[in-house]
């Protein structure tokens, strides 16, 4: 009798477990709107956390041209021997003044060693990650992935787009799909942002 | 009442319109019916695949096919087009003839089942008086196609998978056929049309149904719930769908017996797989869930409406039930993990076959002794209730250490 009841218990438990599994999936289906995990990426994107570490943001007004970032950079670039290139001249006050600052995103590995090396926080991790789509020709010519001060200061900063409160919520995309439009030859990117970057940078390189 | 097949009626009508010989009529009608059913299977399977992808996606918090057509509705037609345009690769060392024939055998056996399936009381190709036997015989031809295809493709993995598949399908043929015998005994007929007609009472018609002896609800799910459970589980296992898809086992092995197949030949296997799932839903509906009858009390007015309206009403209910069952199969696919081979065999041989045999014995005894069917229903449901209550007795601690004979391990003491 014990064996029989044990068997029946096992059978009943199995059936009930199956129903439990079904209950879970049906409940998931019922709550699909709240539980949807897929971000329909080009149509919508998620709010990034402020500590999101995306493409580098360069703030030329802070830079003291110490070149520590260039020394810290571990990756050779496609065009030069460092991923970071800095051009400067010595000004009238015997201070170094920045001419142009390039990051070669064709070879940058986003290790942020340059960010850690920078003593004045001129380099910061930004929010942008769509670098490959900025210039459509970059897939044929890697040197077009070299961005100068103009493009780098254009990257939206984390604080602008991210917030801890609303991190990872879905938002409809309010930027144009084709990022090249906002950086293209027709419009001057400097007009859209308040930053002083006016160099055409890699686009002309 | 011996109703005439709607397809033969259609053929005769065409003959009368075109003024040709009477001998042409019934075959012509049946040919049209075969064509319609073939295309019906194609269409339904296409959107079954879409529904599977959508439903499982929703249940797993994904979105599923989205971009091809509205709600991804054109995704599976696009996939079918892709499969048609693909190169049909035949391995060099394969047996070309057998390799080509095998998918056709599998699909034809899935298709032939529909010859005896009535969608309404008159919409069938043939009202065989051995319909149930025919269906279980024809649907087991699938095994031959699978073995043949795997052997012909000259691939040891395919062959091993085919052996596993054959073992599984042959094992589960037995409880599948035994479980359906319960309704057959109650109906006193092997014909699906008769079995469907006898469940015409609706859900709320007590004691005056067509079968006469019934004291409770007419559908056989109320008098044979255990048989229906066994039938459904055995059908799942026979069709190699989750949780019994150890043959295919997408996450572990590569596609099983059709590993060497590509293009349209693979599509035929795929089509047959989903057609078999549909067959399972159709057979469960026919034998247990009241076939084309609505759960409401429609016997009062259904005889007085035009045949078209009656047919549409019946078709609607039939396909509603089939759709719900197909959705159940798909949600089982989303919910349950895969069983092991030994668990599969133990379930079939040590649980389903004894239970269905016992059900056959009990049902036969009840019918033989002329006991009203309400007592049969009471016995069945109280047994299910006992099992349900016992399942709360104590929590089974671990799946890998089962205490009872289900996995072959010796029973442990209750207090241990």
Q: Please provide the DSSP assignment of chain A as one string.
A: -HHHHHHHHHHHHHHHHHHHHHHHHHHHHHTHHHH-----TTTEEEPPPTT---SEEE-TTT-----HHHHH--S--SSSSSSEEEEEEE-TTS-EEEEEEEEETTT-----HHHHH-SS--EEE-S---GGGTSGGGGT-GGGGEE-HHHHHHSPPHHHH--STTTT-EEE--S-S-HHHHHSSSS-HHHHSSS-----GGGT-
Instruction: Determine whether the interchain pair B388/A16 forms a contact, defined as Cβ–Cβ distance below 8 Å.
Output: yes
For position B300, what pLDDT does the model report?
64
Instruction: Determine whether the interchain pair A36/B414 forms a contact, defined as Cβ–Cβ distance below 8 Å.
Output: no
For residues A138 and A186, state if they share a domain: yes
Tokens standing for residue B304: 């007085």
| Chain B residues touching residue A38 (CB < 8 angstroms) | 61-63
Work out the number of other CB atoms within 10 angstroms of the CB of residue A3: 12
Instruction: Determine whether the interchain pair A38/B63 forms a contact, defined as Cβ–Cβ distance below 8 Å.
Output: yes
CB B28 within 8 A of CB B14: yes
For position A200, what pLDDT does the model report?
41
For helices B263-287 and B131-139, angle between their N-to-C axes, nearest 10 degrees: 150
For position B209, what pLDDT does the model report?
44
- Please give the distance of CA B327 from its chain centroid, rounded to a whole number: 13
φ, ψ dihedrals at A150, nearest 5°: -60, -50
Tokens standing for residue B163: 């052996």
For residues A17 and A87, state if they share a domain: no
φ, ψ dihedrals at A196, nearest 5°: -90, 5
- Tell me chain A's radius of gyration from C-alpha atoms: 26
For position A159, what pLDDT does the model report?
43
Chain A: closest CA distance from residue B215 (Å): 28
**Mean pLDDT for chain A overall:** 77
For residues A99 and A125, state if they share a domain: yes
B340–A contact, CB cutoff 8 A: no
Chain A: closest CA distance from residue B228 (Å): 14
Tokens standing for residue A153: 């200061």
DSSP codes of every residue in B353-389: HHHHHHHHHHHHHHHHHT--HHHHHHHHHHHHHHHHH
For residues A161 and A98, state if they share a domain: yes
d(CA B183, CA B359): 10
B24–A contact, CB cutoff 8 A: no
CB pairs under 8 A between A and B: 85
For residues A114 and A81, state if they share a domain: yes
Cis upstream peptide for B243 (omega within 30°): yes
For residues A19 and A105, state if they share a domain: no
Give the full edge-to-edge strand order of the sheet including A146-147.
A84-90, A96-104, A146-147
For position A183, what pLDDT does the model report?
46
For residues A89 and A11, state if they share a domain: no
For residues A74 and A159, state if they share a domain: yes
For position A2, what pLDDT does the model report?
77
Q: Which residue of A has its CA nearest to B394?
A: A9
B291: left (phi over 0), alpha (psi -120 to 50) or beta: left
Band of residue A202 on the pLDDT scale cut at 50, 70, 90: very low
- pTM reported for the whole predicted model: 0.80
Q: Which residue of A has its CA nearest to B61?
A: A36
For position B399, what pLDDT does the model report?
53
Q: What is the ipTM of this complex?
A: 0.81
Tokens standing for residue A95: 């201070």
- Please give the distance of CA A186 from its chain centroid, rounded to a whole number: 25
A19–B contact, CB cutoff 8 A: no
d(CA A178, CA B298): 60
Instruction: Determine whether the interchain pair A9/B391 forms a contact, defined as Cβ–Cβ distance below 8 Å.
Output: yes
For position B285, what pLDDT does the model report?
92
Q: Please give the tally of structural domains in chain A.
A: 2
Chain B: closest CA distance from residue A50 (Å): 26
What DSSP designation does B407 have?
Answer: G
For position B47, what pLDDT does the model report?
93
| Chain A residues touching residue B335 (CB < 8 angstroms) | 18, 21-22, 24-25
Band of residue A163 on the pLDDT scale cut at 50, 70, 90: low
| Chain A residues touching residue B331 (CB < 8 angstroms) | 22, 25-26, 29
Band of residue A23 on the pLDDT scale cut at 50, 70, 90: very high
Instruction: Name the residue facing A22 among B332, B394, B402 (closest C-beta).
Output: B332
**Which is it for strands A123-125 and A84-90: parallel, antiparallel or unpaired?**
unpaired
For position A199, what pLDDT does the model report?
41
For residues A106 and A162, state if they share a domain: yes
pLDDT per residue rounded down to tens, chain B (416 residues):
456 788 888 888 888 888 777 777 788 888 888 899 999 999 999 999 999 999 999 999 999 898 888 888 999 999 999 999 998 889 999 999 999 999 999 999 999 999 889 988 888 888 888 989 999 899 889 999 999 999 999 988 889 888 888 989 889 999 999 999 999 998 888 999 888 888 776 555 544 444 444 434 678 888 889 999 999 999 999 888 888 888 877 777 777 788 889 888 999 998 999 999 999 999 999 999 888 887 776 666 677 788 888 888 889 989 999 999 999 999 998 999 888 888 888 899 999 999 999 999 999 998 888 887 788 888 999 999 999 998 887 655 545 554 555 555 555 554 44
List chain B domain ranges: 1-85, 86-391
d(CA A150, CA A58): 9
| Chain A residues touching residue B382 (CB < 8 angstroms) | none
Band of residue A195 on the pLDDT scale cut at 50, 70, 90: very low
For helices B353-369 and B373-390, angle between their N-to-C axes, nearest 10 degrees: 150
The enclosing domain of A113 has a CATH number of 3.30.70
- Measured between alpha carbons, how far apart are the two ends of chain B, in Å? 62
Q: Which residue of B has its CA nearest to A28?
A: B59
Q: For the stretch B371-408, what's the b/e string if a residue is b when 16 or more beta carbons lie within 10 angstroms of its beta carbon?
A: eebbebbebbeebeeebbebbeeeebeeeeebbbbbbe
Instruction: Determine whether the interchain pair A22/B331 forms a contact, defined as Cβ–Cβ distance below 8 Å.
Output: yes
Residues A30-55: tens digit of each pLDDT: 999 888 888 887 777 777 777 778 88
For residues A22 and A68, state if they share a domain: no
For position A154, what pLDDT does the model report?
63
Q: Is the pLDDT of residue A158 over 50?
A: no
**Domain enclosing residue A110, as ranges:** 38-203
For position B416, what pLDDT does the model report?
45
Q: Which residue of B has its CA nearest to A17?
A: B336
For residues A10 and A65, state if they share a domain: no
For position A161, what pLDDT does the model report?
57
B123: left (phi over 0), alpha (psi -120 to 50) or beta: beta
For position B234, what pLDDT does the model report?
94
Chain A: closest CA distance from residue B225 (Å): 13
For residues A32 and A98, state if they share a domain: no
The contacts of residue B17 (CB under 8 Å, 6+ apart) are: none
């Amino acid at each position: 009798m014990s064996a029989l009841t044990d068997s029946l218990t096992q059978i009943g438990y199995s059936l009930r477990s199956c129903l439990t599994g079904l209950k879970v999936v049906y409940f998931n289906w019922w709550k699909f709107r709240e539980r949807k995990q897929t971000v329909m990426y080009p149509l919508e994107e998620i709010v990034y956390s402020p500590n999101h570490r995306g493409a580098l943001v360069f703030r030329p007004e802070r830079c003291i041209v110490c070149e520590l970032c260039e020394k810290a950079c571990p990756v050779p670039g496609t065009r030069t021997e460092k991923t970071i290139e800095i051009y400067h001249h010595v000004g009238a006050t015997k201070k170094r003044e920045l001419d142009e600052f390039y990051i070669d995103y064709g070879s940058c590995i986003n290790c942020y060693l340059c960010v850690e090396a920078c003593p004045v926080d001129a380099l910061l991790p930004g929010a942008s990650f769509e670098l490959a789509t900025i210039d459509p020709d970059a897939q044929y010519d890697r040197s077009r992935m070299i961005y100068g001060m103009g493009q780098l200061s254009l990257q939206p900063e984390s604080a602008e787009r991210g917030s801890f409160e609303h991190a990872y919520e879905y938002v409809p995309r309010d930027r144009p799909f084709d990022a090249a439009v906002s950086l293209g030859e027709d419009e001057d990117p400097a007009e859209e942002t308040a930053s002083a970057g006016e160099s055409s940078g890699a686009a002309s390189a | 009442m011996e109703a005439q097949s709607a397809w033969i009626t259609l053929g005769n009508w065409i003959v009368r319109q075109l003024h040709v010989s009477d001998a042409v009529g019934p075959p012509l009608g049946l040919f049209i019916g075969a064509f319609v059913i073939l295309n019906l299977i194609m269409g339904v399977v296409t959107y079954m695949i879409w529904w599977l992808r959508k439903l499982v996606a929703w249940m797993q918090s994904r979105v599923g096919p989205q971009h091809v057509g509205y709600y991804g509705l054109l995704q599976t037609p696009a996939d079918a087009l892709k499969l048609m345009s693909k190169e049909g690769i035949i391995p060099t060392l394969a047996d070309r003839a057998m390799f080509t024939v095998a998918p056709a055998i599998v699909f034809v056996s899935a298709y032939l089942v529909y010859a005896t399936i009535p969608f309404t009381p008159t919409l069938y190709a043939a009202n065989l008086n051995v319909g149930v036997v025919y269906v279980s015989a024809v649907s087991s031809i699938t095994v031959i196609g699978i073995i043949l295809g795997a052997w012909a493709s000259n691939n040891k993995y395919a062959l091993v998978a085919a052996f596993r598949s054959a073992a599984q399908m042959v094992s589960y043929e037995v409880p599948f056929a035994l479980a359906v015998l319960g309704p057959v005994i109650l109906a006193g007929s092997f014909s699906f049309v008769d079995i469907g007609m006898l469940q015409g009472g609706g859900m709320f018609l007590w004691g005056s149904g067509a079968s006469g002896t019934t004291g409770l609800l007419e559908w056989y799910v109320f008098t044979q719930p255990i048989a229906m459970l066994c039938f459904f589980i055995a059908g799942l296992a026979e069709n190699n769908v989750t949780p019994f898809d150890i043959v295919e086992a997408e996450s572990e092995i590569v596609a099983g017996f059709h590993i060497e197949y590509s293009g349209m030949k693979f599509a035929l296997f795929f089509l047959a797989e989903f057609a078999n799932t549909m067959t399972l839903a159709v057979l469960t509906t026919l034998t247990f869930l009241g076939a084309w009858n609505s759960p409401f009390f429609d016997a009062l007015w259904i005889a007085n409406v035009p045949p078209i309206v009656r047919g549409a009403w019946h078709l609607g209910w039939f396909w509603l039930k089939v759709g719900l069952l197909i959705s159940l199969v798909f949600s089982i696919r989303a919910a349950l993990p895969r069983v092991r081979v030994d668990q599969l065999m133990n379930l079939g041989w040590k649980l389903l076959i004894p239970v269905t045999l016992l059900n056959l014995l009990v049902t036969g005894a009840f019918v033989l002794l002329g006991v009203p069917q309400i007592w049969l229903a009471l016995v069945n449901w109280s047994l299910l209730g006992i099992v349900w209550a016992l399942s709360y007795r104590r929590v089974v601690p671990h799946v890998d250490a089962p205490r009872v004979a289900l996995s072959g391990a010796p029973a442990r003491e209750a207090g241990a």
